A and B are shown apart, each in its own frame.
Chain A
Amino acid sequence: MPLINMKKLAFLLPLLFCFAIASAQQAQPVEMADVLRSSGKIYVVIATICIIFAGLAVYLFSIDRRLKKLEKEN
């Protein structure tokens, strides 16, 4: 039993070591807007954009409808 464990360890340790080197070689953490997202405030921005675009889309549809009426009259 202990022999197998030793074998396992001998296999795992270099592996772990490799992993540690690989992760150390990665560039330092890149700054992203994590805080904003974790605090949930990004949803406010998304909602704002969605409202604006919804308004514009409805507006475009209404222009389209008015135009259809005009086209029928002509």
Chain B
Amino acid sequence: MKFIYQTWWKVIAVLLVFSTFITGLLFRVPRLPIIHETIRNLYFHVPMWMGMLTVFVVSVYYSIKYLRSGKEEHDLAAVECVNTGLMFYTLGLLTGMLWAQYAWGEFWSGDSKQNSAAIAFLLYCAYLVLRNSIDEEQKRAKISAIYNIFAFPVMIVLIFVLPRMTDSLHPGSGGNPAFGRYDLDNGMKLAFYPAMLGWSFIALWIATVRYRIRLIENKKNAIN
């Protein structure tokens, strides 16, 4: 049976995320000014981006696969991965904004991390707009696959590279504490890694469910 139809990894993902609710909220965390207990957002806000990243990587994989094989399923897998990724993207942005309200004083302060995340969000929205603007199926699949392959590295640079090179308030940028410093705390690793892994697989799971629905829809819409 194919991996996406199996149940065991879905159960593991749920259990991993469950464990982080307990470890992430109860275990001791470093006492840092300004962020206080919101340091625990590391277990909930950051995994949203990890989940997004996972499905986007899978999406690029299927876009490349589509260009090589020309099989329609690969194109459908790529779209549904982007759809799921955008959901997690939105959750990441919203939780980040909520945190910014309390740590930085404003929901949106035009911080470079926030701005480039917004630009990358539009980049992926453009992918969906591009798809819907082309009627011919093979052309649509091919063009959007190429767009997707190019959009991914641009998104990576916008979200994970550029804010680190400029003055961003976000943890991990401009000398603000992030991984390096939290990593010293072994207690935090215990909740952080399961959260990253668990949420990645949850995102993947939702993407596979969407993909399977899409396959059925596609079959129904096909000309018999």
CB distance from B169 to the nearest CB of A (A): 19
Contact assessment for B25 and A45 in the assembled complex, using a CB-CB cutoff below 8 Å: yes
| Residues of B in contact, count (CB < 8 Å) | 22
Residue in B7, B18, B212 whose beta carbon sits within 8 Å of that of A71 in the complex: B212
A12 at the interface (CB under 8 A from B): no
Asked if A60 and B209 sit within 8 Å, CB to CB, the answer is yes
Interface hub of B5, B21, B22, B33 (most chain A Cβ within 10 A): B21
Let me know if B26 and A57 touch, CB within 8 A: no
Min distance, Cβ A73 to any Cβ of chain B, angstroms: 9
Q: In the complex, A74→B215 CA distance in Å?
A: 10
Task: Write the residues of chain B forming the contact surface with A, with a CB cutoff of 8 angstroms.
Answer: 5, 7, 10, 14, 17-18, 21-22, 25-26, 31-33, 36-37, 205-206, 209, 212-213, 216, 219
Main secondary structure of the interface of B (DSSP, over half): helix
Q: Which residues of A are interface residues toward B (Cβ below 8 A)?
A: 27, 29-33, 37, 42, 45-46, 49-50, 53-54, 57, 60-61, 63-64, 67-68, 70-71, 74
The A/B interface has a contact count, at CB < 8 Å, of 51
Chain B residues in 8 Å Cβ range of A33: 36-37
* Known contacts A57-B14, A60-B205, A32 near B37 by CB under 8 Å: yes
Query: Is there an interface contact between B205 and A68, defined as CB atoms closer than 8 Å?
Result: no
> CB distance B36 to A30 under 8 Å?
yes
B25 touching A32, Cβ below 8 Å: no
Cα distance A37–B219 in the bound complex, in angstroms? 54
